[in-house]
Each structure stands twice: as structure tokens, then as C-alpha cells.
Structure 1
């Protein structure tokens, strides 16, 4: 683990990390989120008058990944080569998985995390009329590959 946060200089001022000396390599990250829904909301998902919440959430997550650098100030704009978001009904809610990939000098963890987060928020938006107590939880990096720090896989 690094001994200092990379987005701060020695004086403690936030800055964008200079990745110009890093060589481009294939990088991929997978993030997840869970939207906790009660049984009544889960049963109503197919009949949602706004459309299929899971499909809308998928598209929102993909769009969000492509706009990550506009939302998070110190993120580098990346040319993404792949983004995929899945939203699956499971016991107790909707499980979201977001994958982002690029060939660049910096990783795509934030793109995957942004995609999972926005997909989860979209499920909330599409179902909030039925329950205001919906919870979004466990937005996490599940795995990453590539780059200087190598591979990471979250212990479940």
C-alpha cells in the first residue's frame, strides 16, 4: 500500500495525478452494487409504468461510465473500449455488476464504480413511487486487472 494519497502534493493540495510517464496497457475493473427492495417492489418490477427499470439502469450505468471524468474532478478522461452493466433480480433486491475496460496509462476502477452507482440510483428512481425505504448498499470494487498494481480480487 502506498504511504501517501496520490491526489495530494507534499503541501496537501489536491491535484490530478500525472500519468504521462505510464505506458498504456489493457486495464479492466468490475464493480458491484446492491439495491435492497421489498417483496412488493420486486413483484412489481415487470409492470413498472416507466418501463423496465433494470434495462434503464443498464443504459444509465453505461452512460455514466463514459462520463466519469465529468463527475469526479481528479479522474482522467479515458477512451473506454468496453462497458457492460448487468442488473439481476435476486433474493432481497437487485444485484448490479459493472465492467469497464480500456487500454490506457491509468485504471478504470472509477468508471466501473460510477457505472454501478448510477445503475443502482436508476433502479431507485424507477421504483421509488412504490417504496421510499429502498436502500442502496455495498457499492464495491470487486476486481481489477492491469496496471502497475496488478490484480485485485475482493474477498467475499
Structure 2
């Protein structure tokens, strides 16, 4: 683990985003509250918050950080739901991993809650995918100096047991 003991506590913020591709029928069920397992977006929001708090337990070299604020929002588009997570702290290291973990947990929770609607006749998910998980913005310091990732710093995850990471 990297030694951060000599670093100063400063305000920090990270915002991450990701998408889940779903059928229009499934998205309509989410909008109208007709999903058997319950309120999909409310459950995904809680999952994101819980995952953010547990990030150091699941990412081995991630420091424990006092989280001061979490915001989880969803945007519903045509065939896609985006999760946007913002995490704040005043600490010695950033909260990018917490924001990415929150987005991932939110999207996985959505998938879990609607998987019965997304399955085809053979029990597979030919059109469902989680994609474009990335840090949108990282801010730090007294005046929040903006540090934005390059386009190649997104992580594309295909849940057909293949994974591609471009850094």
C-alpha cells in the first residue's frame, strides 16, 4: 500500500459514470415500477452507497477514507440507464475508486433486479451489457483544481466473461 502519511488533508471529489444497456420493455417496467423485485433505482442507489463504504474491503490496496458526501443519480435514455456517482472527502488521497465502485454496484444491482426480463429463451443475455465505466472528473485542493482523464482511461466491461481495460 502506498504511504500517504506525509500528505495533507484536503478537499477531494470524484465523479464516475457508467451505463447499462437494457431492452425498451425493461426500461419501461423500471419507469412504471413494474419490476417484480421492487424499486430498481432506489435499490441501486442504496447498493452504490453501501459499495462506496466497503471499497477498501474489496480493493486490496485502496486506503480507508472518511467519506463526507455521496450523490447517486440515474439518467434514463433510449435503451440505456446511466449511473452517475459523486463522492467527496477531506483527506490524504482521492475517492476515484469509491466512485467507480459505486457506479459498478449500482449497475450490477440494476442487472440483478431485471435479469428475468432481460433473459432470452435459452437463459442468456444477448443484448444486456454494462459499459463505459469511467471517472468523469477528479477535483482536489482548496479551490478544486480540475483533473480530467483522457479518453483512453475508460474501462469497458463485457459480462460475457471477457474484460478489456484501456489505460
Q: Normalization by structure 2: what TM-score?
A: 0.79
Q: Which runs of 5+ in 1 are unaligned?
A: 1-15
How far is the alpha carbon of 1:117 from its aligned partner?
A: 0.5
The CA deviation string for residues 75-110 of structure 1, in whole angstroms up to 9 with x for no partner, is 001110001111221122111000000000000000
Answer whether contact 1:57 1:87 (CA < 8 A) is retained. no
1:138 aligns with 2:132: yes
Alignment of 1:16-31 (within 5 A): 16-31=1-16
The 1-side partners of 2:56 and 2:35 are apart by 32
How far is the alpha carbon of 1:152 from its aligned partner?
A: 1.8
Name the counterpart of 1:111: 98
Question: What is the aligned counterpart of 1:58 among 45, 49, 58?
Answer: 45
The 2-side partners of 1:19 and 1:52 are apart by 40
How far is the alpha carbon of 1:69 from its aligned partner?
A: 0.1
1:80 aligns with 2:67: yes
Aligned residue pairs: how many? 140
Q: Normalization by structure 1: what TM-score?
A: 0.85
Question: What is the aligned counterpart of 1:34 among 9, 16, 19?
Answer: 19
Question: What is the aligned counterpart of 1:68 among 34, 55, 64?
Answer: 55
SS in 2 for 1:64: helix
SS in 2 for 1:126: helix
Answer whether contact 1:24 1:105 (CA < 8 A) is retained. yes
How far is the alpha carbon of 1:151 from its aligned partner?
A: 2.1
**RMSD over aligned Cα atoms:** 1.6
1:153 aligns with 2:148: yes
The 1-side partners of 2:22 and 2:94 are apart by 32
The CA deviation string for residues 123-147 of structure 1, in whole angstroms up to 9 with x for no partner, is 0001111113310000000001005
Question: What is the aligned counterpart of 2:108 among 118, 121, 124?
Answer: 121
How far is the alpha carbon of 1:155 from its aligned partner?
A: 6.5
